[in-house]
Structure 1
């Protein structure tokens, strides 16, 4: 049996984490000493969303949000007012499929482009595509398909994206419920892809005339470029070994022949034939990790210079400490355990506030009661 690497320490003000409910939000400090209203540790921004999947902090200081039903919107982080920009009619949202990852062009003022990933039906087949929209006059238009016909399914669609400093778009894809695709170099499923912003293949990709940057992935739902240059990915395992990986050009991460670290005979035989990159951290039993990001602010000192991981099944945020060169995770700390339900995504404001998107209390909950919550501090 695989053994989890678990180092859990709770950061508590007393014996439990303090959560300020919405009912506390209008409470004033009326003492004679004239103290101002204290800043809440957490606050619900909006709670009428339908499976928010991606939230990002925009250059306009608004939250930009995808909902799995196909809606893209801007949300005022102070008032919770939602402004719909577009609903993509082609989106097919079944189980885990739908409108998923999103990113804005790094120079959005000059290049007002929004990139997104969604699944759609082609006959009886589910497929996935990467698209670009142009933002003008508070709306999105001019859909341009950059990459199409990626295998998709009701499960395991990956779909996290980011744009690097050299203007390459990285995209995670899942195995689409077909485990053989992850090792198939003729398929874009179960891979990390690297794409020019016009949808063409970069000439310096590791495999000639291929979008594939790395292979052997099951369902990577988190992808972030760290200031140290490493790309970190969070990936769902099957019955064991949810993973944190460092993604490197041209490397194989083993799925389905290797789950997590190489620790049984069949995995050793496969690894003798193929160089496999093991995870730098794993969890058994599985926790269902989703988004991963790097907190480079000091507003919440407990999280400064750490990777932040949102967790679905175990319903928590995990702060991961890296060693000096970023090659290992030396500690994990659990925050807001079981307080907000399934936590899908995370966004960081310029001033260091943190926003999380929640997806209900149970798998498959598609009610319009999912929330975005602001975190100002740890109490």
Structure 2
């Protein structure tokens, strides 16, 4: 769905160390295929000169759009790899996992040429995050309009995935910014999924009157997508256990930091007895570091048809997930391209089913390597 419109101790620090950044080198650009024949190679490297790409979306102009954490937004030709810079946001603060992050286009881009992005900046007392809108004109983004500001941010756990719904509301994931108290605090925007009108105001039908909060109790959700059944789903980083897939329901509590994954310990059961908590529908222990999540409907790559596709950072793979009939559990997990491309940050799909991934290096915190966009042409037998 994103392709249609398109988040205190040594133990905690050690678990966080595995969760974000860079890539190796490869520089071949594929030639366009005028005859529409299947490419010879299963994968092709489109571009390999990026600086930590974070968001990758198929734009309404049939170009790939990418954000880089250093503040650059570019359009990339999906056949030649030619990169056109459309904006550098000068006041972006790139510190470890922070920087320029999520992006989404207005679904009616021809009449409303707006691009919404999230970035971190240096506030008076440390890092903060803001959601802004730019206007696209003459191959340039300009006219920055701040829609939501002073969102908690840090060098870790900033969430920042954006999604626009069919009824034209903007959803945004936020992380707990390394402060676990924020996720259960309804006066904080940290550790939440937020819902806004496209002008930045609060929708009158939000679950909590006068609040942007749509769901809460999140740690660091970095994937957000719709299933064709209308359900909303997210992928979320756990601490040293319980990376999650969640079915997101308006107004519900997802438990962090009191509940990790499912409610299966005495302390979690005690907390849940007084608070209605929604358990994850799938989880991973040990953690894998899940990032972007989309739902693939095309038959161009039949092995992935009607499955969630998720990019994975620490375990460096694409995971395909099959949802059950009523949307409440994952029935199958399949692993593809295991450790072939390094850490995988994001995934984008064209209207015809072409699949592109953005890589983030071979190890967390590696800022020296090059970073690639790779097209997946087919699954080799």
Q: Check if 1:280 corresponds to 2:257.
A: no
Tell me if 1:134 matches 2:115.
no
Deviation string for 1:166-196 (max 9, x for gaps)?
0000000000000000000000000000000
Q: 1:41·1:375 contact (CA, 8 Å) conserved in 2?
A: yes
1:11 alignment partner in structure 2 = none
Post-superposition offset of 1:368: 5.5
2:102 corresponds to 1:101: yes
Structure 2 residue 86 is matched with structure 1 residue 85: yes
TM-score, reference length from structure 1: 0.90
Deviation string, structure 1 residues 277-324 (Cα, Å, up to 9, x no partner): 000000000000000000010000000000000000000000000112
Q: Provide the residue aligned with 1:366 in structure 2.
A: 367
Q: CA deviation at 1:54?
A: 0.3
Query: Would you say the 8 A contact 1:310–1:343 is kept in 2?
Result: yes
Q: Deviations over 1:18-55 (max 9, x none)?
A: xxx877969xxxxxxxxx88532100000000000000
Are the counterparts in 2 of residues 41 and 378 from structure 1 also a CA contact under 8 Å?
Answer: yes
Q: Which moved more, 1:127-136 or 1:362-371?
A: 362-371
Mapped to 2, the partners of 1:289 and 1:38 lie a distance apart of: 29
Q: Give the deviation of 1:325 after TM superposition.
A: 2.2
Alignment of 1:198-237 (within 5 A): 198-237=199-238
Residues 222 and 292 in structure 2, CA contact (< 8 A), matched pair in contact too: yes
Residue 127 of structure 1: CA displacement? Answer: 0.4
Cα deviation 1:100-124 (Å, max 9, x = unaligned): 0000000111100000000000134
**Residue range with higher mean Cα deviation, 302-311 or 322-331:** 322-331
1:190-226 alpha-carbon deviations (Å, 9 max, x no partner): 0000000000000000001000000000000000122
Structure 1 CA distance for aligned equivalents of residues 112 and 375 of structure 2? 29
Whether the aligned pair in 2 keeps the contact of 1:224 and 1:233 (CA below 8 Å) is yes
- Which residue of structure 2 lines up, in the alignment, with residue 33 of structure 1? none
- Measured after TM superposition, the shift of residue 267 of structure 1 is 0.6
CA distance in 2, matches of 1:230, 1:37: 34
- CA gap of 1:76–1:368, structure 2 versus 1, over 3 A, is farther
Structure 1 unmatched ranges of 5 or more: 1-20, 27-35
Contact 1:221–1:234, Cα closer than 8 Å, also in 2: yes
Matches within 5 A, 1:1-379: 38-367=39-368, 369-379=370-380
Distance of aligned partners of 1:277 and 1:45 in 2 relative to their CA distance in 1, 3 Å threshold: same
Number of matched residues? 350
C-alpha separation in 2, matches of 1:52 and 1:83: 15
Partner SS, residue 183 of structure 1: coil
> Hey, what's the Cα distance between the residues in 2 that align with 1:114 and 1:24?
27
Question: In 2, are the aligned partners of 1:49 and 1:368 still within 8 Å (CA)?
Answer: no
Taking a change above 3 Å as real, the CA distance of residues 368 and 111 of structure 1, as seen in their structure-2 partners, is farther
Structure number with greater Rg is 1
* Cα separation, 2, equivalents of 1:157 and 1:37: 39
Cα RMSD, aligned residues only:
1.4
Q: Which has the higher contact order (CA 8 A, sep 6+)?
A: 2
SS of alignment partner, residue 119 of structure 2: strand
Please list the CA deviations of residues 323-375 of structure 1 after superposition, one character each: whole Å capped at 9, or x if unmatched.
Answer: 12222110000000000000000000122110000000000122361000000
Could you give the per-residue CA deviations for residues 251-279 of structure 1, whole angstroms, max 9, x where no partner exists? 00000001111111111110001000000
